[in-house]
């Protein structure tokens, strides 16, 4: 009935030349077959839909109907019909009769195919039957000769059908597989041959849309719950994508290439991942791919991409090239190149891998192979200059995907090794591009400078090492993941790969980079992260490897890495000197000219350089004959400072965590000395100086400060720290002295640098003592008789010996400057600070010497402020001496009184000898020391305190009158009031009337003297 009805429809269509009847016959015939095929004894409007029970009968019916429909669709391809008009009326365009009728007919045909979905061979045979019939029909519609197509459609079809019938009925045995599968294979091969031989008649749109449709139908038809059937599904899809890729290469078609490259991965994204269950908790189309099968399929898809990208790369494939007029986002993506086939295929693969990589889906070796293959082949393509993508996109996107996979499944060593190899390839290509740009060549690629790519690559490697160091357990490992455990072995291989990358990628190129610091910091981050990971995993071997690599890398960069920077500074020096000499010659010519005027030329640049020279001269001497012109140009060892800082930070970390700073100080000192030596060697080669910090070369100063922080961290981090254990301060002192000596070697301005170095050492020792004392661990001053243990006696005595030597050396420099009639290089504040620092940490001897020498030099340079400053702190040294000399114990107050009294006497003497610049100094010392000393002696107000304040008042008031200084007259009056306040307190406490009488008499004498002197100097006081 179905066949007769189909013939009736088409017969009327031929008789009436009616496109409507033809299209309706095609659509209805398939729908009729589909309903009966899928029916389960349905009853529709009282009509019973009888299902087919014989597979061969259904296939023969479809065979006949399909042949008739294909011929009819070809005959009426350009005829008008209701369906085309209807689509046009809905605004969907006006498709031809062939496409609309065949498209609608496929709905019913798919029903028939779906009814036998569980029988994969039969369903594929039905699908191939449709393709084998309508493919020649389409080619004829597109203008191909039917005579040429007969050998693909008319002749083989009856033969294949006859063989199929014989095999199904058992007349002949079917080899290899079931009859339906054999028929499907041969029919598909014949159809493919027809398409390939007449592909010029098929548009690209039809090919890529048809490919996608076939893949979807295969997915629906082949039940992939069974591993064997899932393998068949992957094989069928592989055939489709390989064929489409071949057509893309032959036709030079971007659309086909894009489909063959991207569509398989999108399919995997939906059907090979667990996306469905995550979204709706139900797997719509269940699949069960064998891990090996899926791995091979993924590698095949990548291999498919290689010829496509290489073939179409030269033609500038850009999938966003037709996005004109769309949104601004589309335009930006198009212009940025993100939609190029190279880039978008790469990113699509990475996204797909992130979703499909799950336990039971893809094994460990499959994941690593796919990720490695995609990265290496893109890198090789870029190195061959055949890549249309951007290197930053490749490195960044792959690294991010690798980090996600590493967090989930580990294998950090593989990712680091792959990224290292890829970076070497890509950056070598980037170097070529950079060279082309410098030569003026315009290149089509977005050339990223090598320095940026090196920083990016090393930065991602450092992050990967961090993940290894975190040592997080893997909850869901991949199959065969135990072959590559996430343990110490992984760390060691990762460390070797990372260090090799630094050595092969960065070090050979360091001297050629414009910006040194970013890539240097990235390389340091890699090496430090290796060390931290080794500490986390308790792997001493890797820790030693990281330390050795750090030292070697730092030494190499210090020697070779800053060549470009040094040459730039040398060029700047030579250029400035050349300009200066040219100006000098011009000035000489003007002076020698007979018509020269008396107008003098002023060089503003030289004035500015002169100010800089004056600032430099306070801490260092002239660098040569042209110090004024080029003295501010110095070699700035950026990389050396970076490595020294990192060394110090690592040393602080280990000192804090271990509570023992001795090894950290020793190792950090050795490494820093190595870096400093190389930096000075390189600076001396180009006759440049290193920048200074407080008169000390910056690398040395930073190292000294860092070692002090290490010592402090060790003391604070030691839970069992004991005051009598002072080995750390001795080791620190030794390291600081060695560094100071290194900074002085080969210098001709020792008169300026020696004081700076000594001040630096003492300042750092003082900071160490103060900070540890504030934390309740140490004392600022160390008494030699506190303990008789060697760990106390030797460090304390050594420290004092050094301080004495430092004070004597400082004084020797002062005396030499005086002999050579050089100017004062420190000033009053500098002398006070030097003496105060020494006094603070000395147990007496060095402090007293420093005060004596400072006082002596203040007399030489006439600096009255120095004695006042010393007077405030010299009691500290006296008290320190009393701590270990019994005779002096408890005499600090008396010492203060005596010192204050001597100061008052000196003030009186200065008035007599007319050296009034020292008068205020003596009076201030008396005011500061005498009352406080008297109070400290009795720990309360006393008659002695009253008498001494009265003496201070008398001295101040009388000197104020004699020297006509109103201020001291006022201070004298205030002192008298204070003395009476003390007397009042004593009277309230039970003082005698005799004391009061003495106070009254003393006051009367004082006032009498003041009155008498006031009358003597009445005229001068009136003018004052």
Q: What is the DSSP code string of 98-139?
A: HHHHHHHHHHHHHHHHHTTTTSHHHHHHHHHHHHHHHHHHHH
Residue 652's contacts (CB-CB under 8 Å, 6 or more residues apart) are 664, 706, 709, 710, 713
CA distance 771 to 793: 22
What are the CB-based long-range contacts (under 8 Å, 24+) for 878-883?
A: 878/844, 878/848, 880/781, 880/783, 880/842, 880/843, 880/844, 880/847, 881/843, 881/844, 881/845, 881/848, 883/781, 883/783, 883/785, 883/843, 883/844
Q: What is the DSSP string of 178-220?
A: -HHHHHHHHHHHHHHHHHHHTGGGS-HHHHHHHHHHHHHHHHH
DSSP class of residue 888?
G
Residue with tokens 């499944």: 409
Could you report the per-residue pLDDT of 665-684, keeping only the tens digit for each? 999 999 988 888 888 887 77
Residue 1024, number of CB atoms within 10 A of its CB = 13
Does an H or E element contain 70, and which?
Answer: helix 55-75
* DSSP reduced 3-state for 1023: helix
* DSSP reduced 3-state for 945: helix
What's the confidence (pLDDT) of residue 325?
44
DSSP class of residue 48?
E
What's the confidence (pLDDT) of residue 391?
85
* DSSP reduced 3-state for 696: strand
Q: Are 975 and 931 in contact (CB under 8 A)?
A: no
948, two tokens: 């001494």
Under-50 pLDDT residues of the chain: 278-282, 315-331, 445, 596, 602, 609, 613, 616-619, 621-622, 625-626, 628-629
Q: Are 908 and 923 in contact (CB under 8 A)?
A: no
Q: What is the DSSP string of 766-798?
A: HHHHHHHHHTTS--SS--TTS--SHHHHHHHHH
Q: What is the DSSP string of 612-632?
A: HHHHHTTTS---STTHHHHTT
Does an H or E element contain 690, and which?
Answer: none
**764 burial class (0-12, 13-18, 19+ CB within 10 angstroms)?**
buried
What's the confidence (pLDDT) of residue 451?
76
CA distance 278 to 232: 26
C-alpha dist (Å) from residue 900 to 48, 821, 896, 961, 986: 129, 33, 6, 21, 23
Residue with tokens 């009393």: 882
Q: Are 220 and 283 in contact (CB under 8 A)?
A: no
CA distance 23 to 98: 8
What's the confidence (pLDDT) of residue 542?
92
Does an H or E element contain 50, and which?
Answer: none
Q: Are 672 and 647 in contact (CB under 8 A)?
A: yes
| Residue 418 half-sphere exposure toward CB, CA atoms < 13 A | 26
DSSP class of residue 887?
G
Q: Are 949 and 972 in contact (CB under 8 A)?
A: no
Residue with tokens 């042949």: 67
CA distance 643 to 590: 52
CA distance 347 to 741: 58
Nearest to 850 by CA among 795, 805, 784, 903: 805
- 972 alpha carbon, distance to own chain's centre: 67
CA distance 955 to 969: 10
122, two tokens: 């039969």
What's the confidence (pLDDT) of residue 983?
84
CA distance 36 to 327: 48
C-alpha dist (Å) from residue 631 to 615, 625, 742: 11, 10, 22
CA distance 728 to 739: 16
| Residue 223 half-sphere exposure toward CB, CA atoms < 13 A | 13
Task: Identify any residues that bridge with 318 across adjacent strands, giving them in sequence order.
Answer: 340
CA distance 933 to 916: 26
Mode of pairing for the β-strands spanning 696-697 and 692-693: antiparallel
Longest pairwise C-alpha distance within the chain? 156
Nearest to 395 by CA among 411, 413, 382: 382
Rounded to 10 deg, the angle between the 943-962 and 892-912 helix axes is 20
Rounded to a whole number of angstroms, the CA Rg of the chain reads 48
CA distance 76 to 99: 11
Nearest to 391 by CA among 460, 458, 445, 341: 445
105, two tokens: 């007919």
For the chain, the residue count is 1024
């Amino acid at each position: 009935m179905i066949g007769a009805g189909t013939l009736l429809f088409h017969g009327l269509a031929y008789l009436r030349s009616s496109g409507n009847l033809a299209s309706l016959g095609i659509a209805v015939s398939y729908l009729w077959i589909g309903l009966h095929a899928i029916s389960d004894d349905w009853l529709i409007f009282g009509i019973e839909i009888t299902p087919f029970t014989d597979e061969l009968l259904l296939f023969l019916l479809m065979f006949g109907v399909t042949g008739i429909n294909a011929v009819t669709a070809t005959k009426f391809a350009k005829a008008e019909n209701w369906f085309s008009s209807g689509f046009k009326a809905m605004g969907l365009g006006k498709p031809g009769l062939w496409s609309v009728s065949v498209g609608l007919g496929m709905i019913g045909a798919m029903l028939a195919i779906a009814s036998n979905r569980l029988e994969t061979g039969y369903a594929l045979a039905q699908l191939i039957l449709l393709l084998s019939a309508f493919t020649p029909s389409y080619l004829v519609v597109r203008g191909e000769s039917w005579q040429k197509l007969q050998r693909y459609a008319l002749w083989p079809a009856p033969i294949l059908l006859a063989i199929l019938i014989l095999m199904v009925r058992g007349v002949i045995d079917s080899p290899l597989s079931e009859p339906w599968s054999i028929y499907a294979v041969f029919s598909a091969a014949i159809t493919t041959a027809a398409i390939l031989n007449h592909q010029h008649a098929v548009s690209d749109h039809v090919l890529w849309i048809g490919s996608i449709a076939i893949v979807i139908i295969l997915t629906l038809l082949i039940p992939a719950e069974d591993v064997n059937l899932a393998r068949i599904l992957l094989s069928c899809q592989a055939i489709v994508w390989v064929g489409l890729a071949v057509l893309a290469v032959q036709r030079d078609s971007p659309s086909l290439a894009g489909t063959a490259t991207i569509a398989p991965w999108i399919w995997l994204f939906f059907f090979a991942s667990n996306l469905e269950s995550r979204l709706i908790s139900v797997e719509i189309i269940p699949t069960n791919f064998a891990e090996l099968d899926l791995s091979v399929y993924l590698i095949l898809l990548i291999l498919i991409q290689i010829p496509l990208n290489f073939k179409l790369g030269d033609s500038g494939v850009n999938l966003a090239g037709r996005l004109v007029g769309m949104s601004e986002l589309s335009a930006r993506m198009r212009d940025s190149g993100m939609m190029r086939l190279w880039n978008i295929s790469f990113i699509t693969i990475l996204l797909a891998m992130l979703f499909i990589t799950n336990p039971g889906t893809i094994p460990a070796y499959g994941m690593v192979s796919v990720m490695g293959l995609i990265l290496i082949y893109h890198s090789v393509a870029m190195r061959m200059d055949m890549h249309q993508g951007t290197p930053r996109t490749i490195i960044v996107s792959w690294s991010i995907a690798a980090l996600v996979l590493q967090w989930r499944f580990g294998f950090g060593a593989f990712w680091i090794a792959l990224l290292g190899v890829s970076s070497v390839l890509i950056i070598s290509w980037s170097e070529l591009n950079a060279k082309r740009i410098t030569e003026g060549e315009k290149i089509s690629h977005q050339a990223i400078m090598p320095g940026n790519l090196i920083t990016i690559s090393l930065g991602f490697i450092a992050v990967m090492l961090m993940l290894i160091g975190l040592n997080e357990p893997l909850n869901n490992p991949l199959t065969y993941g135990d072959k590559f455990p996430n343990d110490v072995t992984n760390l060691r291989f990762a460390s070797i790969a990372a260090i090799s990358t630094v050595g092969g990628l960065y070090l050979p190129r360091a001297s050629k980079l414009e910006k040194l610091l970013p890539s240097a910091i990235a390389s340091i981050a890699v090496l430090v992260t290796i060390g931290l990971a080794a500490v986390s995993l308790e792997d001493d071997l890797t820790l030693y490897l990281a330390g050795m690599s750090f030292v070697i890398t730092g030494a190499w960069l210090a020697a070779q890495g800053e060549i470009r920077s040094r040459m730039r500074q040398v060029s700047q020096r030579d250029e400035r000197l050349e300009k200066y000499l040219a100006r000098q010659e011009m000035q000489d010519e003007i002076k020698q000219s007979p018509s020269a005027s008396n107008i003098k030329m002023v060089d503003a640049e030289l004035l500015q350089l002169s100010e800089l020279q004056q600032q430099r001269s306070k801490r260092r001497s002239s660098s040569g004959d042209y110090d004024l012109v080029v003295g501010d140009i110095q070699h700035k060892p950026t990389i050396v400072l970076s490595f020294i800082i990192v060394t110090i930070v690592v040393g602080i970390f280990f000192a804090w965590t271990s509570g023992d700073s001795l090894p950290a100080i020793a190792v950090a000192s050795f490494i820093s000395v190595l870096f400093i030596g190389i930096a000075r060697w390189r600076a001396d080669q180009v006759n440049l100086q290193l920048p200074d910090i407080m008169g000390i070369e910056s690398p040395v100063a930073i190292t000294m400060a860092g070692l002090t922080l290490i010592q402090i961290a060790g003391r604070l981090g030691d839970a069992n720290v004991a005051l009598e254990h002072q080995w750390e301060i001795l080791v620190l002192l030794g390291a600081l002295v060695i560094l100071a000596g290194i900074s002085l070697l080969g210098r001709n301005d020792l008169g300026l640098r020696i004081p700076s170095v000594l001040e630096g050492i003492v300042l750092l020792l003082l900071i160490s003592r103060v900070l540890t004392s504030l934390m309740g661990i140490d004392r600022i001053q160390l008494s030699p008789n506190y303990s008789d243990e060697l760990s106390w006696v030797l460090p304390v005595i050594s420290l004092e010996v050094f301080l004495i030597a430092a004070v004597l050396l400082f004084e020797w420099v002062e005396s030499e400057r005086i002999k050579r009639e050089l100017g004062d290089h420190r000033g009053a504040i500098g002398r006070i600070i030097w003496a105060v620092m020494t006094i603070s940490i000395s147990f007496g001897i060095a402090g007293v010497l420093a005060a004596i020498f400072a006082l002596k030099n203040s007399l030489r340079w006439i600096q009255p402020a120095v004695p006042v400053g010393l007077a405030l702190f010299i009691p500290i040294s006296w008290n320190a001496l009393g701590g270990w000399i019994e005779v002096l114990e408890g005499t600090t107050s008396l010492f203060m009184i005596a010192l204050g009294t001597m100061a008052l006497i000196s003030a009186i003497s200065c008035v007599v000898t007319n050296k009034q610049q020292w008068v205020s100094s003596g009076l201030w010392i008396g005011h500061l020391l005498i009352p406080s000393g008297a109070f400290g002696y009795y720990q309360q107000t006393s008659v002695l305190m009253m008498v001494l304040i009265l003496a201070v008042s008398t001295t101040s008031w009388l000197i104020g009158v004699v020297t006509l200084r109103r201020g001291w007259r006022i201070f004298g009056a205030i002192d008298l009031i204070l003395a009476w306040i003390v007397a009042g307190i004593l009277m309230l406490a039970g003082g005698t009337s005799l004391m009061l009488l003495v106070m009254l008499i003393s006051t009367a004498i004082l006032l009498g003297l003041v009155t008498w002197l006031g009358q003597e100097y009445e005229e001068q006081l009136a003018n004052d």
